[in-house]
A and B are shown apart, each in its own frame.
Chain A
Amino acid sequence: MSNTVTTTPALDTSKTLAAEPRGRTGAARLLLGRDAVMIYALLAFVLYGMIAIPRFASPVTVGFLLLDVIPVLLIALPMTLIIITGEIDLSVASIAGLTSALMGVLWAAGLDIGTVLAISLLAGVAAGAFNGFLVAVVGLPSLAVTIGTLALFRGLALVVIGDNAVANFPPELTAFFTSKLGGTGIPTVMIGVVLVALFFGVLLHFTPFGRGLYALGFSKEAATFVGIKVARAKFWLYVGSGSVSALAGIYWTLRYSSARSDNASGLELTVIAAVLLGGVSIFGGKGSIPGVIAGVLLIGTINFALRLGRVSDVVLIIVTGTLLIASVVAPSVFEAIKRWQHNRRLRRSLPQVPASGETNATAPGVQERK
Chain B
Amino acid sequence: MEFISNRARKGRGARRVSVLAAAATAFALVATGCATGSTGDSTDGAAADGDLSITFIPKQLNNPYTDVVLGGGKDGAKQAGFASTQVVGPLEASASSQVSFINAETQAGTNVIVIAANDPDAVGPALQEARDAGAKIVAFDSDTNPKYRDVFISQVVAKDVALIQTKLISEQIGGKGEIAILSATANATNQNEWIKFMEEELASNPDYKDIKLVAKVYGDDDDTKSFQEAQGLLQAYPNLKGIISPTTVGIAATARYLSTSDYKGKVMLTGLGLPNEMRPFVKDGTVTAFALWDPAQLGYVAAYAGKALVDGDITGKEGDTFTAGDMGERTVGKDGIVIVGPPTTFDKNNIDEYDF
Nearest Cβ distance between residue A334 and chain B, in whole angstroms? 18
**What are the residues of chain A within 8 A of B109 when measuring CB–CB?**
55
The CA of A201 and the CA of B23, in the complex, are separated in Å by: 9
B172 within 8 A of A: no
Check if B223 is an interface residue, CB within 8 A of chain A. Answer: no
A139 within 8 A of B: no
A53-93 toward B: CB 8 Å interface, digit per residue (1/0)?
Answer: 01111111110111110000000000000000000000000
A231 within 8 A of partner (CB): no
Known contacts being A167-B145, A262-B187, is A185 close to B95, with CB within 8 Å? no
Q: How many residues of A contact B (CB 8 A)?
A: 80
B327 at the interface (CB under 8 A from A): no
With an 8 A cutoff between CB atoms, is A347 at the interface? no
Residues of B294-350 at the interface with A, using a CB-CB cut-off of 8 Å, are none
Per-residue A-contact encoding for B90-122, CB less than 8 Å = 1, 0 else? 111011100111011011110000000001111
Collect the chain A residues with CB atoms within 8 Å of residue B41's CB: 58
- Using an 8 Å CB-CB cutoff, how does the interface string of B23-43 with A read, 1 for contact, 0 for none? 101111110111011011101
Please determine whether A26 and B10 come into contact, CB atoms closer than 8 angstroms: yes
Q: Let me know if B192 is at the binding interface, CB within 8 A.
A: yes
A139-190 residues with Cβ-Cβ distance < 8 A to B are 158, 162-163, 165, 167, 174-175, 178, 183-186, 190
B89/A185 in contact, CB under 8 A: no
Q: Is the CB of A262 within 8 A of B94?
A: yes
Within 8 A of A (CB), among B5-24: 7, 10-11, 14-19, 21-23
- Is A42's CB within 8 Å of the partner chain B? yes
B174 within 8 A of A: no
Measured in the bound complex, the distance between the Cα atoms of B119 and A29 in whole Å is 49
| CB of B110, distance to nearest CB on chain A (Å) | 10
Known: A55-B107, A258-B121, A308-B104. Is A39-B33 also a contact (CB below 8 A)?
A: no
A64 B37 Cβ-Cβ under 8 A: no
The dominant DSSP class at the B interface is helix
Check A201/B19 contact, CB under 8 A, given A165-B95, A256-B96.
yes
A46 within 8 A of B: yes
Shortest CB distance A325–B (Å): 20
Partner of A293, one of B23, B103, B104, B119: B23
CB neighbours of B64 from chain A (8 A) = none
If A310-B104, A314-B91 touch, whether A185 touches B121 (CB-CB below 8 Å) is no
- Check B40–A42 contact: CB distance below 8 A: no
Stretch from A114-122, A215-223, A284-292, A355-363 forming part of the interface with B:
A284-292
Once A61-B33, A258-B96, A312-B61 are accepted as A-B contacts, the answer to whether A29 and B26 lie under 8 Å apart by CB is no
**Contact string, B62-82, partner A, CB cutoff 8 A, digits 1/0?**
100000000000000000000
The residue in chain A whose Cβ has the minimal distance to the Cβ of B216 is: A163
Contact between chains at B26 and A313 (CB < 8 Å): no
By the criterion CB–CB under 8 Å, are A317 and B91 in contact? yes
A308 engages B108 (CB within 8 Å): yes
Q: Which of B27, B30, B32 has the most CB of A within 10 A?
A: B30
Which residues of B lie under 8 Å from residue A257 when comparing CB positions?
Answer: 121-122, 124-125
Asked if B214 lies at the interface with its beta carbon under 8 angstroms from chain A, I say: no
By beta carbon, the residue of chain A nearest B19 is: A205
Complex contact B21–A22 (CB within 8 A): no
Bound form: Cα–Cα A185–B103 in Å: 13
Interface readout for A296-326 with B: 1 if CB under 8 Å, 0 if not? 0100010110011010111001000000000
Residues on B with C-beta less than 8 A from A184 are 30, 34
The complex places the Cα of A57 from the Cα of B39 at a distance, in Å, of: 7
Contact among A36, A47, A68, A307 for B18, CB-based, below 8 A? A36
Residue from A36, A265, A317 in contact with B94 in the complex, judged by beta carbons closer than 8 Å: A265
Report how far A265 CA is from B99 CA in the complex, Å.
15
Q: Quick one: given A22-B4, A25-B11, A178-B125, are A297 and B26 in contact (CB under 8 Å)?
A: yes
B91 touches A307 (CB 8 A): no
B107 CB contacts on chain A under 8 angstroms: 55, 58, 60-61, 64, 308
Given contacts A58-B41, A60-B40, A304-B100, contact A25 B7 (CB under 8 A): yes
Report A-chain residues with C-beta under 8 Å of the C-beta of B104. Answer: 64, 304, 307-308, 310
In the bound complex, CA of A206 to CA of B17 (Å): 11
Q: When chains A and B are docked, how far (Å) is the Cα of A131 from the Cα of B75?
A: 53
A136 CB to nearest B CB, Å:
27
Q: Which residues of B contact A162 (CB under 8 A)?
A: 186
Across the interface, do B43 and A54 meet the contact criterion of CB distance under 8 Å?
A: yes
0/1 interface trace, chain A 327-348, chain B, CB 8 Å (1 if under): 0000000000000000000000
Give the docked Cα–Cα distance between A46 and B121 (Å).
Answer: 32
Instruction: Assess whether A268 is interfacial by the CB under 8 Å rule.
Output: no
Candidates B22, B62, B94, B145; contact of A39 at CB < 8 Å: B22
- Give which listed residue, B23, B40, B125, B192, contacts A290 with CB less than 8 A: B23
Q: How far is the CA of A370 from the CA of B169 in the complex (A)?
A: 76
Partner of B95, one of A29, A43, A190, A262: A262
Chain A residue with minimal CB distance to B37? A59
| Chain A residues, Cβ within 8 Å of B187 | 163, 165, 260, 262
B245 CB within 8 Å of chain A: no
Q: Which residues of B contact A43 (CB under 8 A)?
A: 25, 28-29
Q: Is B276 positioned at the interface, with any CB of A under 8 Å from its CB? A: no
In the complex the two chains form, what is the Cα distance from A50 to B103 in whole Å? 18
B86 CB within 8 Å of chain A? yes
Verify A307–B30 contact, CB threshold 8 A: no
Are B43 and A252 interface neighbours, CB within 8 A? no
Give A258 to B189 CA distance when docked, in angstroms. 13
A349 and B4 alpha carbons, distance in the complex (Å): 20
List chain A residues, Cβ under 8 A from B270: none
Cβ-based interface call for B257 (8 A): no
Contacts of B88 in A (CB 8 A): 307, 310, 312
Residues of B within 8 A of A317 (CB): 91
Tell which of B7, B27, B36, B192 touches A163, judged by Cβ atoms closer than 8 Å: B192
**Apart from the given pairs A61-B33, A257-B125, 13 other A-B contacts in the complex at a CB distance below 8 Å:** A57-B33, A66-B30, A186-B30, A201-B19, A257-B121, A257-B124, A260-B119, A262-B186, A263-B95, A263-B96, A297-B29, A304-B100, A314-B62
A-B contact pairs, 11 of them (CB 8 A): A29-B11, A43-B29, A57-B33, A58-B40, A59-B40, A64-B100, A163-B187, A183-B37, A184-B30, A186-B30, A317-B91
